[in-house]
């Protein structure tokens, strides 16, 4: 019997999907539930991006299989997933469609807040909503007119509860959500509150007016609230125990990890299928061209590194959250530093990989029909959030001077000091 020529044998990819993480039957069980949905989502991701079609149907598929209840304890009807396993799944979702993974950012952060609540009745109410497939959007940032560290959006007391009024921007995920978490101020109670209201109320107006060149389908637009009843109000004392900003940042890094995986997958598939080659090359097919293979190998290495960094940072958060030996301030510092280190390392790797993709595929890959530029556009857009350029300085100040990261407050306008007007 003659040997089968190697060119006729489909390559077996033996590298683990998630590097640095041991075999886990629980994760395999969860992945078996969600991967078929991820595959359906991936099928139209490039077309939705090109045509700016909001993934409303696709978010519905995830809600039907209760992806938003991953972290809800089993006894409350959820999946009881660990933080690391939930982020491993989030990376897989981001590989299928990075925009859908990002629009769940606020929901993921809010679930973590609920897990740490001491009020069991409030916790049970939200667990039931998550298990029913309901998700939470975001309305934290005000576009202009608020001073740095302060908010104009406010809650006011009534005889039966609180009413919320104000206007927000960067409201990622809200257009797809059942509820929205809104940062606000309250009379006579200093500090930042989070008011959760129904997106179905007539006083909530949601606009899909995000005009960034990437991540265009995340619903990151503006929202106006006019005397909207507040379902749940979390005050500063409750929020103080939760490393919210680190969770939010790690979600974005999981999105970046998914983009890197998608870049690698497209680079591999396009190289395997390519028949044209360059007169300046070696005359071999692209799949045998040494320099092309080097490019693919470098993208693979970057993807491996990004996955490992994001999951290591997530594991550090999971170990720190609720650790008895840490004060709230120490827990915040540990989580913030882990996320900052990861962000500083991850962003350049993903952006470089999304650029190298075109080095291996040539000018034809820049065709708008391919829409391969979406990977770079999306990665570049995600990288602008909580700008990475500040993170290395924060980490360095801690390493050299033991300066702990400051608690984040509202983004806003700087006041012009007197005498400088």
158 and 113 part of one domain? no
The pLDDT of residue 408: 66
31 and 174, same domain (yes or no): no
Reported as a pLDDT band with limits 50, 70 and 90, residue 22 is: low
Q: How far apart are CA 374 and CA 336, in angstroms?
A: 29
**213 and 361 in one domain?**
no
Determine contact, residues 258/98, Cβ cutoff 8 Å.
yes
| Residue 418 domain-assigned (yes or no) | no
Claim to verify: residue 253 and residue 375 sit in the same structural domain: yes
Answer whether residue 410 is part of any domain. no
Residue 107 to residue 163: CA distance in whole angstroms:
22
Does residue 287 carry a pLDDT above 90?
A: no
Residue 171 in any domain: the answer is: yes
> What is the widest separation between alpha-carbon atoms in the chain?
91
| Residue 419 forms part of a structural domain | no
Residues 65 and 160 reside in one and the same domain: no
Write the pLDDT tens digit of every residue in 234-264.
Answer: 988 777 777 888 999 999 999 999 999 999 9
* % of the chain surpassing 70 pLDDT: 88
Q: What is the pTM of this model?
A: 0.91
Q: What is the pLDDT of residues 131-158, one digit of tens each?
A: 999 999 999 999 866 767 679 999 999 9
pLDDT over threshold 80, residue 24 = no
Interval 61-77 mean pLDDT:
98
**Domain assignment present for 261:** yes
Which residue, 134, 149, 180, sits at the end of a domain?
134
Q: Which domain holds residue 169?
A: 138-236
Altogether, the residues listed in the chain come to a count of 421
Residue 85: which CATH number? 1.10.540.10
| 129 and 144 share one domain | no
126 and 142 together in one domain:
no
- Regarding whether 31 and 161 lie in a shared domain, the answer is no
Report yes or no: 162 and 229 within 8 Å, Cβ to Cβ.
yes
167-197 pLDDT, tens digit per residue, is 999 999 999 999 999 999 998 888 889 999 9
Does residue 81 form part of some domain?
yes
In this predicted model, which residue has the larger pLDDT, 11 or 70? 70
Predicted confidence at residue 273, as pLDDT, reads 82
Distance CA 23, CA 34 (A): 18
119 pLDDT band (50/70/90 cuts)? very high
Please count the CA atoms within 13 angstroms of the CA of 71 that sit on its side-chain side. 24
Q: Of 213, 236, 259, which one is at a domain's C-terminal end?
A: 236
DSSP string, 80-120: ---HHHHHHHHHHHHHH-HHHHHHTHHHHHHHHHHHT-S-H
- Do 258 and 370 have their domain in common? yes
Span 205-216, average pLDDT: 94
365: CATH? 1.20.140.10
* pLDDT range class, residue 3, cuts 50, 70, 90: very low
pLDDT bucket at 286, cuts 50 / 70 / 90: confident
Predicted confidence at residue 184, as pLDDT, reads 95
Any domain includes 168: yes
How many separate domains does the chain show?
A: 3
Are 252 and 390 part of one and the same domain? yes
Residue 285 CB partners (closer than 8 Å, separation 6+) = 274, 275, 277
Q: Are residues 275 and 392 in the same domain?
A: yes
pLDDT for the residue numbered 10:
47
Q: Helix, strand, coil % (nearest 5) of the chain?
A: 50, 10, 35
Residue 245: CB atoms within 10 A of its CB come to 18
Domain stops at, among 87, 107, 134: 134
Residues 397 and 295 in one domain: yes
* pLDDT for residue 410: 65
**Considering the domain boundaries, does residue 7 fall inside one?**
no
């Amino acid at each position: 019997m003659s040997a089968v020529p190697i060119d006729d044998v489909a390559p077996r990819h033996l590298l683990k999907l998630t590097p640095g993480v041991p075999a886990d039957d629980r994760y395999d069980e969860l992945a078996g539930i969600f991967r078929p949905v991820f595959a359906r989502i991936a099928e139209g991701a490039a077309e939705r991006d090109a045509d700016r079609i909001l993934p409303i149907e696709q978010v519905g598929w995830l809600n039907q299989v209760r992806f938003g209840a991953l972290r809800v304890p089993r006894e409350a009807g959820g999946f009881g997933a660990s933080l690391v396993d939930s982020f491993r799944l989030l990376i897989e979702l981001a590989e299928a469609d990075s925009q859908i993974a990002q629009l769940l950012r606020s929901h993921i952060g809010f679930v973590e807040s609920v897990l740490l609540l001491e009020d069991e009745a409030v916790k049970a109410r939200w667990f039931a909503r998550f298990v029913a497939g309901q998700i939470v959007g975001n309305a934290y940032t005000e576009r202009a007119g608020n001073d740095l560290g302060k908010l104009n959006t406010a809650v006011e007391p009534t005889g039966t509860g609180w009413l919320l009024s104000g206007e927000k921007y960067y409201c990622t995920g809200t257009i797809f959500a059942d509820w929205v978490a809104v940062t606000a101020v309250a009379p006579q109670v200093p500090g930042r509150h989070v008011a959760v209201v129904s997106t179905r109320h007539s006083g909530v107006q949601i606009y899909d007016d995000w005009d960034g060149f990437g991540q265009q389908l995340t619903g990151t637009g503006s929202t106006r609230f006019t005397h909207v009843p507040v379902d749940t109000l979390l005050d500063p004392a409750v929020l103080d125990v939760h490393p919210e900003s680190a969770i939010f940042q790690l979600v974005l890094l999981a999105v970046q990890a998914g983009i890197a995986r998608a870049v690698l997958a497209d680079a591999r598939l396009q190289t395997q299928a390519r028949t044209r080659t360059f007169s300046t090359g070696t005359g071999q097919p692209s799949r045998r061209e040494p320099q092309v293979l080097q490019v693919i190998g470098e993208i693979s290495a970057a993807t491996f590194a990004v996955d490992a960094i994001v999951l290591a940072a997530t594991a550090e958060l999971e170990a720190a959250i609720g650790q008895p030996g840490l004060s709230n301030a120490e827990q915040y510092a540990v989580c913030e530093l882990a996320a900052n280190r990861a962000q500083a390392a991850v962003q350049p790797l993903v952006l470089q990989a999304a650029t190298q993709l075109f080095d291996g595929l040539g000018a034809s890959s820049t065709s708008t029909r391919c829409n391969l530029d979406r990977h770079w556009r999306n990665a570049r857009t995600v990288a602008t959030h909580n700008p990475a350029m500040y993170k290395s300085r924060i980490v360095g100040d801690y390493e050299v001077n033991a300066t702990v990261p400051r608690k984040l407050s509202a983004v806003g306008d700087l006041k012009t000091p007197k005498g400088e007007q």
